[in-house]
Chains A and B, each alone.
Chain A
Amino acid sequence: MQEKIRNFSIIAHIDHGKSTLADRLLEATGALSPREMREQFLDKMDLERERGITIKLQPVRLRYRARDGQDYVLNLIDTPGHVDFTYEVSRSLAACEGAVLVVDASQGIEAQTLANVYLAMDQNLEIIGVMNKIDLPGAEPDRVAEEMEEVLGLQREEVLRISAKLGIGIEELLEAIVERIPPPSGDASEPLRALIFDSYFDSYRGAISYLRVFDGQVRKGDRIRMMSSGREFEVTEIGVFTPHMEPVEVLAAGEVGYLAASIKNVKDTRVGDTITSAERPAAAPLPGYRQVKSVVFCGLYPVETSEYDRLRDALEKLRLNDASLQFEPETSEALGLGFRCGFLGLLHLEIVRERLEREYDLELIATAPSVVYQVFLTDGRVVLVDNPARWPNPQYIERVQEPYVKAIVMVPDEYVGGVMELCQERRGTFRNMEYLSPHRVMLTYDVPLAEIVFDFFDALKSRTRGYASFDYELIGYQDANLVKLEILLNGDPVDALSTIVHRDRAYQRGRTLVERLRRIIPRQMYEVAIQAAIGSRVIARESVKARRKDVLAKCYGGDVTRKKKLLEKQKEGKKKMKQIGSIEVPKDAFISVLNVDEDKR
C-alpha cells in the first residue's frame, strides 16, 4: 500500500497558476464531478478567492491509474503563498516527499518561489519543475528553463511545459509525480507519529487536525497524545479528503488525512506538533516544531465603544481557527477599550481585520502596526515593547534593539537603481547583488522589519511598476537609535498615534505626519493644534482652522422633511468619527501614521 502513495505540494508564486493547476489535477483524476468543479476549488475562504491568494491549506487525495496500469494515491497538500505563513508552508512541505514547482513561462522565478523552493530543498524533497502558461504570447520557455537550471539547479530538459488553463501536459505531470517522487518511508508497526500540518475549528466536531502519519497507525477510538503539551484525547473520527471529508477506518504510515477528537480549541492542535499514541507513545516527536510568534502588533478598537464585547467575541471565534492570532485587552486614552493583537505579518493583520469587519460587521480602528523592540533599561532589565504607548521613559533606556530581516528583491535590471534607493531610504544595508539572467537581478538587503511594516511593499511596487517580487525572513535583532514620536492634539498626547522611529528620520516623519493629519481632520468648532514631539520637544506643528460655515441657507415649508433627513444623516456620519477629548477624528487618521511615505511623492 505505502508503495503506491505519493505525497506532494505545489509551490508557486501568486498568479503563477497554482490554483488552476490544482483544479486540473482534480479534474484529470476524477476527484470532482464536473458539477462540483468550481474555479479554484481548494481556496475555501471568500477572501482568498477575491484576493487570488491562498491562506489556508486544503489537502486532497487523488486516485490515479498510471501508465504502468497500477492505481496510485496522490495526496496533494496545498501551501499558502505568503511570507507571513512561512512556518505553515514548512510544515506542509515536511508532510511531503516531493514538490511541484510552478513557474510562469513569461515571468520566471520570483522571490517568493525561491524562498519556498529553499524550504523544500531543506526538507530534501524531490522537486519537479513545471513551467506554466506556455500558451501565452509572452511566454519565454527557453529563457525561463535556463533560469530554473541556473538558479535552482534543476535539469532544464526535465522541466515540464504545461498550460493548466488549457489542460496541456497534465498527464505528463501526473506520471512524473508517480515516477520521480519517492513513496513515503516509515513503519506502520512502530509507535504512532503523525505530523499536524494544519487545523481548523468545526463547531460540531471540535478542532480538526490535518495530519500526515509517519509511523504507526491511528484508528477511531484510539487515545492520542499531543507531544508538545502532553494533552490527551480520544479519536472520534478519522478520514481522508476526496476532497470532501470522508471517514475511514485507519490511517497508517505514509497516509494523509484528518482527525477529530472533541478538541475544544485549535490551540491544542498546533501546527507542527506530533500526535502519538497515549498507550504506546513514541520516544521522540518529529523534528521542526516551534511555537509561532507574533511579529507585528497593532491595536484594534471598535469605533463604537459599546461594540467592545462583540469585538472580543469575534476575536475569540477567529482564534478558534487561527492559533497564531494573539490578543489581549488594552486601554488607550484616546480610543478607549480595545485589544492589542499580534500577527504573523502584515497580510495576516489585514486578513484578520478585514474578516472582523466583513464577517462580524464591526467598524474598527486599527492603530499603526508595530514590531517588537527589545529595550535594555539602565537597571539591567530587558523589556519587550510591541506598543509605542508603552515605550519606557527615555531616561531609563540604555539602548534599544529592533528586529531585522533579510530582504530579497528580484527585479528587471532597469529598476535596480530605484530598489536600491528605496532600501537605502528604509535604513537597509546592502548585502548582495546577483544576476539571475542577463536582465534579472536579485538584490539582498538587511532591513529593519519596522521599515518593511511601513508600507514597503507598496513603495516597492510603485517604484518598479509592479515588476519586483519580494520576500523576507527574520534574521535577529540589532542596535538602533530609536525614539518615540508623539502626536499631540490641542496639547494632549494621543497614545494611539505615537510611533517609534529612527532618530535621524523623526523630524521628517513628524513633519509629514502632522501635515497629513491636518488634511484628514475636518474643521471643527474650535481650532485644532496638531503637534509632533519627541519627549517635550515639539518638532512640527500644524493647525486645523475652526469651522466658519455650516448652515442650510434655505429651508421652507416644502423641504423641511428633506432638510431634517439631511441633518440626521450628517449626525450619523459624525458618529463614525472618534471623539478624542473635544476633537472629532476620522478613523482613517490612525492608520495614516502608516502611509506617511506616500506623501513625499
Chain B
Amino acid sequence: MPGIYIHIPFCTRKCAYCDFYSLPASPHLLQRYTQALVADIRRRPHGSFPAAASVYLGGGTPSLLSPAQVGAILDAVAASHDLLPGVEVSVEVNPAPLRAGFARGLAAAGVTRVSLGVQTFQPALLRGLGRRQRPEDVAPAVHQFRRAGISSLGVDLVLGGPGMTTASVAEDLRRTLEMAPEHVSAYLLALEPGTPLARAVAAGRVDLPGEDEEASQYETAREVLTSVGYRHYELSNFALPGHACRHNLGYWEGQDYLGYGPGAVSLVSGVRSMVRADLYSYLREVEAGRPPQRVVLETLGAVDRVRERLLMGLRLTEGVCAAQLEAEFGPEATRPLLAVLQPAAAAGLLEYAGNRVRLTGRGQLLANEVFRALVG
C-alpha cells in the first residue's frame, strides 16, 4: 500500500554512527519548519497520489516536535491526501523523559504507532554509539504510551556495536521483552563512511565485534524473538502477528511512496526523486510559495523495477512471488533476473516455495551475496 514519509531533520546531537541529514534545532526553528511542512503538504506538490495506508514521521528526531506540531502536520496530510481507513501513523521517538502530556497528545493527534530508538539498555554500550540517553527512561516512556492508548509499540535495537557481545545482546533482548513491545527491530550496525565511528574504527581507537561475533548476535536475536512468538518478517524486523510496520512493508513490497521535507525520497510511477537535503533552501522555497527543489535520483524501467522488487522483496521472510512479478512486468524483464539468482539458490542461500523465492536462514546473514548478483 502506498505510504507517506515526513522527514524531521533535527537532532539535539548526532550519533556516532549516523549519516542521515539532520541539524540541531531551536524551538523557533522547529515551529518555522512545521509551518513550512504544512504549507508544502497542503500545496500537494505531487499532484494526485493514491490513497495511503501509512504515514511515517522519521528523522532526525521527530519527538522533538510538540504534539500540536505533529497534529498540524497530520492534519495537513489528511487534508491533502486520501488516507485509507485504519491508516497506520508512526512516529520515531527518542527514549528521553517525555514532556507532560506528550504521549497523550501524540495519540490525540492521530498517531497509532510509536517506534522507540532504544539501541541498547547498557550505558557503556550507549556511549560507544555516541548516544546520550538513559536506559532507565525507556520503561516510563513505554508506560506513558501504553496509558495513552498506543497499541503498537516498537523497540529498535543495535547489534554489532562497539563492545557488544552475544551476552550483551541477550541481556538487551531480555530487557526489551520486559517492555512487551509489539515490534522489535534489531539492526546489525553498518559502518557508514565519514561518520565519527568509522573514523574511530579506522584509527584503531574503537574495536567492533568481528564477523563471527556479529553473526552470533544476529542469530541470538532471531532465536530469542521467534521463540516467544515474534514473526521474523524482514531481515532486521520482528513483530507480533498483525503488527508488522505497514509503512516499511510498503518499501519492501515495491509500493509507491511520497516524501516530504529536505532529504526525503519519493517513488512515484517508477521515478525516484529526492527533496534537496538542505533545510534552509527548503524553508526559503516553501515560504516563498514555491515547491522545494527536487532531484531525480533514478528513473526505473521495467527491468530496474523487477530488480528492485527482488532486492527489496527478498528482504522479507516470505520472499517474492515470481509469478506475480512476471504478471506485472512481463517475462522478458523478469526471467533474466530470476536466472541470475540460480547460483545463490544452488549455494543454499535461496529457496523456492511454490511461486515464491526467498532467502534461507543462512541466506539471511549472507543476503548481500544474493543482492550483488542482481545489481551491476
Residues of A bordering B, CB below 8 Å: 523, 525, 545, 547-561, 563-564, 567-568, 570-572, 574
23 A-B contacts (beta carbon < 8 Å): A545-B212, A548-B215, A549-B188, A549-B211, A550-B366, A551-B188, A551-B235, A551-B366, A552-B367, A554-B187, A555-B251, A555-B312, A557-B259, A558-B263, A558-B265, A558-B274, A559-B265, A560-B265, A560-B272, A567-B374, A567-B376, A568-B376, A574-B372
B267:A547 contact, CB within 8 angstroms: no
A178 to chain B, nearest CB (A): 61
Q: Which 9 A-B pairs have the closest CB atoms?
A: A548-B215, A553-B188, A549-B215, A557-B251, A551-B367, A558-B265, A553-B187, A550-B368, A567-B375
B211:A553 contact, CB within 8 angstroms: no
Cα A560 to Cα B265 with chains together (Å): 10
Chain B residue at minimal CB-CB distance from A551: B367
B310 to chain A, nearest CB (A): 12
B257 at the interface (CB under 8 A from A): yes
Cα A553 to Cα B372 with chains together (Å): 15
List chain B residues, Cβ under 8 A from A564.
308, 311, 375
Q: Mark B111-124, 1 if CB is under 8 A from A, else 0.
A: 00000000000000
B211:A551 contact, CB within 8 angstroms: no
Q: Mark B336-351, 1 if CB is under 8 A from A, else 0.
A: 0000000000010000
Cα A553 to Cα B237 with chains together (Å): 10
Taking residues whose C-beta sits less than 8 angstroms from the other chain, chain B's interface range is 35 or more
List chain B residues, Cβ under 8 A from A561.
265, 272, 297-298
B236 at the interface (CB under 8 A from A): yes
B265:A571 contact, CB within 8 angstroms: no
**Taking each of B212, B236, B267, B371, which has the highest tally of chain A beta carbons within 10 Å of its own beta carbon?**
B371
List chain B residues, Cβ under 8 A from A557.
5, 250-251, 257, 259, 265, 267
Cα A550 to Cα B363 with chains together (Å): 9
B190 at the interface (CB under 8 A from A): yes
A560:B259 contact, CB within 8 angstroms: no
Cα A564 to Cα B376 with chains together (Å): 9
A552:B272 contact, CB within 8 angstroms: no
Q: Mark B292-330, 1 if CB is under 8 A from A, else 0.
A: 000001100000000010011001000000000000000
Q: A523-B211, A557-B251, A558-B259 are in contact. Are A550 and B297 (CB under 8 A)?
A: no
Cα A70 to Cα B228 with chains together (Å): 105
Q: A548-B212, A548-B365, A549-B365 are in contact. Are A554 and B236 (CB under 8 A)?
A: yes
Q: A560-B312, A564-B375, A567-B375 are in contact. Are A551 and B364 (CB under 8 A)?
A: yes
A521 to chain B, nearest CB (A): 14
Q: Mark B257-269, 1 if CB is under 8 A from A, else 0.
A: 1010001110100
Cα A401 to Cα B371 with chains together (Å): 54
List chain A residues, Cβ under 8 A from B212.
545, 548-549
From A525, A553, A558, A568, B375 is in contact (CB under 8 Å) with A568
Chain B residue at minimal CB-CB distance from A526: B347
From B211, B251, B315, A547 is in contact (CB under 8 Å) with B211
Q: Mark B231-264, 1 if CB is under 8 A from A, else 0.
A: 0000110000000000010110000010100011
List chain B residues, Cβ under 8 A from A549.
188, 211-212, 214-215, 218, 365-366
Q: A568-B375, A570-B372 are in contact. Are A555 and B315 (CB under 8 A)?
A: yes
List chain A residues, Cβ under 8 A from B297.
561
Q: A548-B365, A549-B211, A549-B366 are in contact. Are A572 and B347 (CB under 8 A)?
A: no
Interface residues of B in 134-169 (CB under 8 A from A): 159
B171 at the interface (CB under 8 A from A): no
Chain A residue at minimal CB-CB distance from B21: A558
Cα A545 to Cα B210 with chains together (Å): 13
List chain A residues, Cβ under 8 A from B376.
567-568, 571-572
Q: Mark B96-140, 1 if CB is under 8 A from A, else 0.
A: 000000000000000000000000000000000000000000000
Q: Given A547-B211, A557-B250, A558-B265, output 13 extra A-B contacts at Cβ < 8 Å.
A: A547-B366, A548-B366, A549-B188, A551-B188, A552-B190, A553-B159, A553-B189, A554-B190, A555-B251, A558-B274, A561-B298, A564-B375, A571-B375
B368:A567 contact, CB within 8 angstroms: yes
**Taking each of A523, A553, A567, which has the highest tally of chain B beta carbons within 10 Å of its own beta carbon?**
A553
A552:B265 contact, CB within 8 angstroms: no
B366:A525 contact, CB within 8 angstroms: yes
From A523, A545, A555, A567, B372 is in contact (CB under 8 Å) with A567
Cα A389 to Cα B118 with chains together (Å): 59
Cα A550 to Cα B147 with chains together (Å): 41
List chain A residues, Cβ under 8 A from B267.
557
List chain A residues, Cβ under 8 A from B364.
551
From A525, A553, A568, B236 is in contact (CB under 8 Å) with A553
List chain B residues, Cβ under 8 A from A556.
248, 251
Cα A85 to Cα B38 with chains together (Å): 78
A579 to chain B, nearest CB (A): 13
**Taking each of B187, B215, B375, which has the highest tally of chain A beta carbons within 10 Å of its own beta carbon?**
B375
A550:B298 contact, CB within 8 angstroms: no
Chain B residue at minimal CB-CB distance from A582: B347
